[in-house]
């Protein structure tokens, strides 16, 4: 059944206002139709009462004329009155509106005829000097009787019409009250609904927004009220959750950066301790080892800062590609050679096509992508093992893959590793990093019109696939 709660919970602002407008429109239409009908009926009632009054008036005029005629001795005057009487009869007939009235008017006409005939006979007798042979009074009385009845009938009709009009007047009053109540109730319902549901939802939403803006990251708006308001509350809650997540990520990221910076910094500090002037000079061999250590830590710091800078550039949309035709095989060789120098725990394997694979790329950026993937493959294979880099020339694209036999990535984490600041739980404590490498790598590949995907098995290894189209429209 259509109830208040269903209105409050399921209806939309538009539905409620449409319903209110429809109710108001319908009430107005009904009121107009009723007013037209009542005014039409009142007009009919007034016409009926006027006709009855006219009939009564004419019947009384006839009675007067009949009496005057009866008393008159002048022949000319009588003839004139007879004409007038016939005129009244015609008028009375024009007001007839019922069978009974018609019967009475016929009777009046017949009796008046009888009276007039007798009165003519009486006049001709008095002219010839004969004694009057006709007694007029009964004929006059006979003519008066239907006339009186006609008067009573019209009075009765007028009274009945007046009673009906009074009844309609009462109905019109009740009806007016009813329509006014419907209008007031509709307006009241809309106002109450706005007060109870629309306004309350807006207020709670506003409170939640204010709390969130003031720093309460857990503030959420209750999803209630009209559909549009519930949609707004849901959108706000989603936005607040996303912002809170981003905030948490940034805090975690800062923590990670600080943590990751601390390691090379403490190594640097220890190294400088060894070379302090107040200490006995270390052996040339130790100096060499320490300097090597310092160089690696500085490079590591540099790489981290580069990652951060790149991420900032990518986020700000300032990634620019300097495209040139390059053989991808060369880039792969250079990157792998650089890694071979620094690792002896891992076996680095490179598989290249025989023919040059020329592509319009930004060589430094592609190098950055590959470096990042190989560096990850090494980082996340702490036990060592095989890291395989393969380049393949396909019909429409170059396919670059980097596969390792490391810790792998769980299915749940796989969807998030390309997001900025994302570091998966397993790797977080294991290896240093800012969680920016893959985010930047993906943007670089996409800027080349390509895409990057990952396939992985936890504890078995990971394979990143970079698809670079041969004839794609490029844009940074």
Binding residues (CB under 6 A) for ligand ADP: these are: 372, 376-377, 380, 404, 406-409, 417, 422-424, 427, 433-439, 462
d(CA 212, CA 215): 5
CB-based burial label for 313 (10 Å; 0-12, 13-18, 19+): middle
**Element housing 397 (H / E):** strand 397-403
> Phi/psi class of residue 361: alpha, beta or left (left: φ > 0; alpha: ψ in -120 to 50)?
beta
How many C-beta neighbours within 10 Å does residue 324 have?
10
HSE-CB at 447 with a 13 A cutoff on CA atoms is 21
What is the smallest separation between the CB atom of 297 and ligand ADP, expressed in angstroms? 16
HSE-CB at 27 with a 13 A cutoff on CA atoms is 19
What is the smallest separation between the CB atom of 455 and ligand ADP, expressed in angstroms? 11
What is the smallest separation between the CB atom of 390 and ligand ADP, expressed in angstroms? 15
Indicate if the alpha-carbon torsion angle 442, 446, 447, 448 is positive or negative: positive
What is the smallest separation between the CB atom of 299 and ligand ADP, expressed in angstroms? 15
Could you tell me the CA-to-CA distances from 401 to 30, 158, 282, 374 in Å, in that order?
A: 77, 107, 45, 10
Query: Which value, to the nearest 10 degrees, does the dihedral of the CA atoms of residues 333, 334, 335, 337 take?
Result: 80
Residue, CB closest to ligand ADP: 433
Q: Given the complex with ligand ADP, which of 225 and 433 has the nearer CB atom?
A: 433
Of 362, 374, 354, which Cα lies nearest the Cα of 321?
362
Q: Given the complex with ligand ADP, which of 214 and 429 has the nearer CB atom?
A: 429
What is the smallest separation between the CB atom of 392 and ligand ADP, expressed in angstroms? 19
Q: Given the complex with ligand ADP, which of 264 and 435 has the nearer CB atom?
A: 435
Q: Given the complex with ligand ADP, which of 225 and 406 has the nearer CB atom?
A: 406
Q: Given the complex with ligand ADP, which of 125 and 399 has the nearer CB atom?
A: 399
What is the smallest separation between the CB atom of 373 and ligand ADP, expressed in angstroms? 7
What is the smallest separation between the CB atom of 421 and ligand ADP, expressed in angstroms? 9
Q: Given the complex with ligand ADP, which of 246 and 274 has the nearer CB atom?
A: 246
H-only helix segments in 316-436: 328-342, 363-379, 411-414, 425-428
- What is the pairing mode between strands 385-393 and 324-327? unpaired
What is the smallest separation between the CB atom of 243 and ligand ADP, expressed in angstroms? 22
> Phi/psi class of residue 17: alpha, beta or left (left: φ > 0; alpha: ψ in -120 to 50)?
alpha
- What is the pairing mode between strands 461-469 and 397-403? antiparallel
Write down the residue that tokens 């590959």 correspond to: 370
What is the smallest separation between the CB atom of 348 and ligand ADP, expressed in angstroms? 14
How many C-beta neighbours within 10 Å does residue 473 have?
6
According to DSSP, the residues that pair with 389 across neighbouring strands are: 350, 402
What is the smallest separation between the CB atom of 365 and ligand ADP, expressed in angstroms? 15
Q: Given the complex with ligand ADP, which of 27 and 372 has the nearer CB atom?
A: 372
Q: Given the complex with ligand ADP, which of 357 and 463 has the nearer CB atom?
A: 463
Q: Given the complex with ligand ADP, which of 107 and 315 has the nearer CB atom?
A: 315
407 within 8 A of 458, measured Cβ to Cβ: yes
What is the smallest separation between the CB atom of 286 and ligand ADP, expressed in angstroms? 31
336 within 8 A of 391, measured Cβ to Cβ: no
d(CA 458, CA 438): 18
What is the smallest separation between the CB atom of 323 and ligand ADP, expressed in angstroms? 24
Q: Given the complex with ligand ADP, which of 120 and 379 has the nearer CB atom?
A: 379
**463 φ, ψ (degrees, to nearest 5):** -135, 120
Residue 283 DSSP label = P
Helices 75-94, 99-127: inter-axial angle, 10-degree rounding: 170
Q: Given the complex with ligand ADP, which of 58 and 401 has the nearer CB atom?
A: 401
Q: Given the complex with ligand ADP, which of 264 and 437 has the nearer CB atom?
A: 437
Could you tell me the CA-to-CA distances from 403 to 377, 412, 437, 453 in Å, in that order?
A: 7, 20, 16, 12
């Amino acid at each position: 059944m259509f109830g208040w709660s269903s209105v409050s919970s399921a209806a939309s602002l538009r539905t409620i206002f449409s319903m209110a407008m429809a109710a108001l429109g319908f009430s107005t239409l009904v009121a107009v139709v009723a007013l037209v009908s009542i005014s039409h009926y009142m007009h009919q009632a007034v016409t009926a009462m006027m006709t009855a009054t006219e009939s009564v008036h004419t019947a009384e005029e006839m009675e007067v004329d009949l009496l005057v005629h009866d008393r008159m001795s002048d022949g000319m005057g009588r003839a004139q009155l007879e004409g007038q009487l016939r005129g009244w009869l015609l008028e009375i007939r024009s007001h007839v509106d019922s069978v009974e009235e018609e019967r009475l008017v016929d009777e009046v006409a017949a009796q008046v005829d009888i009276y007039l005939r007798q009165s003519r006979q009486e006049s001709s007798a008095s002219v010839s000097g004969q004694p009057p042979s006709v007694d007029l009074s009964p004929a006059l009385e006979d003519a008066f009787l239907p006339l009186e009845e006609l008067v009573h009938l019209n009075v009765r009709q007028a009274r009945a019409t007046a009673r009906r009009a009074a009844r309609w007047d009462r109905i019109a009053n009740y009806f007016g009250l009813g329509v006014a109540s419907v209008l007031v109730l509709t307006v009241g319902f809309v106002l109450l609904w706005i007060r109870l549901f629309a306004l309350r939802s807006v207020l709670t939403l506003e409170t939640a927004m204010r709390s969130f803006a003031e720093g309460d990251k857990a503030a959420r708006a209750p999803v209630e009220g009209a559909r549009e308001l519930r949609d707004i509350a849901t959108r706000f809650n989603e936005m607040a959750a996303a912002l809170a997540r981003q905030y948490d990520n940034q805090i975690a990221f800062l923590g990670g950066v600080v943590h990751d910076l601390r390691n090379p910094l403490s190594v640097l500090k220890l190294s400088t301790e060894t070379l302090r002037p107040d200490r006995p000079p270390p052996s040339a061999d130790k100096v060499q080892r320490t300097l090597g250590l310092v160089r690696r830590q500085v490079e590591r710091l540099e790489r981290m800062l580069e990652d951060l800078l790149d991420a900032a550039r990518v986020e700000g949309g300032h990634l620019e590609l300097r495209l040139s035709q390059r053989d991808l095989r060369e880039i792969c060789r250079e990157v792998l050679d650089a890694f071979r120098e620094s690792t002896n725990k891992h076996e680095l394997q490179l598989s290249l096509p025989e023919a040059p694979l020329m592509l319009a790329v930004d060589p430094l950026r592609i190098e950055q992508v590959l470096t990042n993937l190989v560096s990850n493959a090494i980082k996340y294979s702490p036990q060592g093992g095989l890291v395989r880099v393969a380049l393949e020339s396909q019909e429409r694209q170059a396919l670059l893959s980097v596969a390792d036999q490391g810790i792998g990535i769980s299915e749940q984490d796989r969807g998030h590793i390309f997001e900025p600041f994302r570091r998966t739980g397993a790797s977080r404590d294991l290896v240093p990093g800012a969680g920016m490498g893959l985010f930047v790598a993906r943007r670089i590949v996409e800027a080349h019109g390509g895409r990057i995907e990952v396939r992985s098995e936890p504890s078995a290894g990971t394979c990143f696939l970079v698809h670079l189209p041969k004839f794609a429209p490029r844009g940074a």
